[in-house]
Chain A
């Protein structure tokens, strides 16, 4: 019989609070927890990522989330006054905390969301774990799934957190609708509000995207409708869109499927969804060569590329906090407007809870996932971290893949399998494997910690957490803004060869 969480917490002196917990809790329990913590005597520690997560949430569209950020800052102050607050400075991810604290002590309790980096690391730690676990479940309520001392105490935890692909997504079939997708056609949302399709903006293998007249708050924000091609709305997509509509994710720079749309008939059949529109160029057409970036954004310097990475990673982290993993990230799914502000596109394929992202791209697939069938296996924060590192590298190196090297294989998959990262450690000046065209200079002018981070990821196979990369990029941007690297802010250094 699992105890209620208030009783459970009394067994522990210290609490490690992951941001994903308060963010995903239902408001009543969250308020209770935030009142209980300062009133009690626990020492409360937070991972290094806490501050970054606070900042990211403080910029959310949802007013409740913004107030939560403020509320948590207040909590921090309250606890600091009592000298009961600790920040694991420099320790961004969950791995170190879980492995060191979690296995060493049974007086500490981890509090986190059932889909989070923390949850993943606790699963990996397995039976060695002695710490208490208080998990926010899918219903937003706290539960203690690993209470007790029995040999199989982790079984309850695994049942909650070790997700497997939802088998319902394997159901064959697609919902068909007789609908002529064109300008002027009408669709309805779930509450039967009518929306008229405007001009078609584009067409892909999945469907068509149209402008529309949806403007619920009268703010004039442009929305677009994506209508799937006939036969595309299979069970996986339907389940996912429904979940996405329920989740109501809203953040500047994320084109989230907000509402499903249906045929304007007595029995409305699903057709697609509504999302915020965005105009600009996709990064795959920008990050092609230094010359192209220079031509498109003549005022850009290296710090602008770094800032681009920061903005994008902040949006990824926001989604990660809710247990949403992108899965099919790539340059093409990021659109940059004239001012250089990025938006995440094609989010409709992201992984939500146990509904997988069925697609992936070779450049962003880590070696251990190359043979995986994506529709049958869920992504992890681990694999996502590798993909993010590739994306950041590509943005900083104008589209070049980190494993692309002189004498490389026929395909990038081969290069990834070979695992040869051609950029040397400091001091070791062998640039012979770096592709021709001046890319070696970008590496040379990068701050040492940034270079070390890339090497730890691509050479040593360490999966750095997203917030760690964010922290590093912020440092890089600051260093450039302060002019601490002479010539370091150049977009590119014009030399042939290394």
Chain B
């Protein structure tokens, strides 16, 4: 892709923390000018939701330390709005619709993947550790354009391969009720259902992203669960709001696993509750 020649790896901040690189591919094609149920153009809802999302991420200490963000927009062509940069160094983001443009969905996805690959290489060269990268693809339509289907096929193939190798986590998000999203629906081999909502409900999706990123970054697993399989000490410490840890977790390398993507957005994975029982313990020995 000549678009990406000379692309640099983005900016870095020195930190011992394991990075979480997230690339957003956002649809700014002509159709995004259309309004949602409350009469607001989708692009405006997207801009505002995204802004709120970035704010929330930045206010979460652990995530603000670890997240690296890039943004690509697509409409007619694919454009890099923001190259990979630590989230607390990102300037204000606002995207404009490119009127009368088509949706080069496949090209955008491939562009995002390339950007993430470049970033990973840079991390390795610098000796920085990172979690499996995330690719968030947000569109309100089907791929359009002369090479659209070819590009989409290539994108799907690449994504499936990377998912199988545990090297990428994809969040395909379909915005709006009017389209089938049959192509977007092919994108991830791991998700059985697409994430779908209209643009005015994007906040719930972004909240889910925020919660998931917190889980990944702060996952503070013990190397071995204790004898009874009760969950280990978890992220939220016993001391107020400090939830951060730079320390990598379990020997099963589960820090590289993506969070479970729920079928409906907003559903957080339920915490495992220990099975209570008194079996072998003589109560009288321990009561007073």
Contact = CB atoms under 8 A, between A and B. Distances in A.
A366 to B, nearest CB: 12
Nearest to A375: B227
Most A-side CB within 10 Å, residue of B12, B13, B255, B276: B276
A176 B278 contact: yes
Nearest to A267: B287
Report the interface size class on chain A: 35 or more
A270 interface: yes
A281 B244 CA distance: 10
B223 A175 contact: no
B236 A173 contact: no
Given A201-B239, A232-B274, A362 B251 contact: yes
B253 to A, nearest CB: 4
Nearest to B272: A205
Contact of B226 (A188, A236, A439): A236
Interface string B48-83: 000000000000011001000000000000000000
Contacts of A207: 238
A256 to B, nearest CB: 15
Contacts of A288: 15-17, 65, 244, 246
B233 A346 contact: yes
Nearest to A405: B127
B251 A370 contact: yes
Contact of A397 (B16, B247, B287): B16
Interface in A347-404: 358-365, 370, 373-375, 394, 397-401, 404
A411 B248 contact: yes
A331 B247 contact: yes
B222 interface: yes
A361 B227 contact: no
B251 A204 contact: no
Interface residues of B, number: 58
Contacts of A438: 14
A33 B78 CA distance: 83
A424 interface: no
Contact of A204 (B227, B230, B233, B287): B233
A387 B16 CA distance: 18
Contact of B227 (A176, A234, A331, A422): A234
Interface stretch (A34-42, A428-436, A460-468): A428-436
Contact of B242 (A170, A282, A405, A435): A282
Interface in A230-288: 230-232, 234-236, 238, 262, 267-270, 279-282, 284-285, 287-288
B226 A269 contact: no
Most A-side CB within 10 Å, residue of B14, B128, B256: B14
A230 B242 contact: no
A408 B126 CA distance: 10
B6 interface: no
A331 B245 contact: yes
Contacts of B273: 231
Given A231-B230, A436-B12, 14 more contacts: A171-B281, A188-B288, A192-B288, A202-B238, A202-B239, A204-B236, A206-B233, A268-B287, A288-B246, A289-B14, A362-B250, A401-B16, A435-B128, A436-B125
Closest 7 CB pairs of A and B: A435-B127, A437-B14, A399-B16, A173-B279, A205-B234, A436-B126, A231-B276
Interface of B: 12-17, 61-62, 65, 124-129, 220, 222-224, 226-228, 230-234, 236-240, 242-251, 253, 255-256, 273-281, 283, 286-288
11 contacts: A171-B279, A173-B279, A192-B288, A205-B234, A231-B275, A291-B13, A331-B246, A358-B226, A399-B17, A411-B253, A437-B126
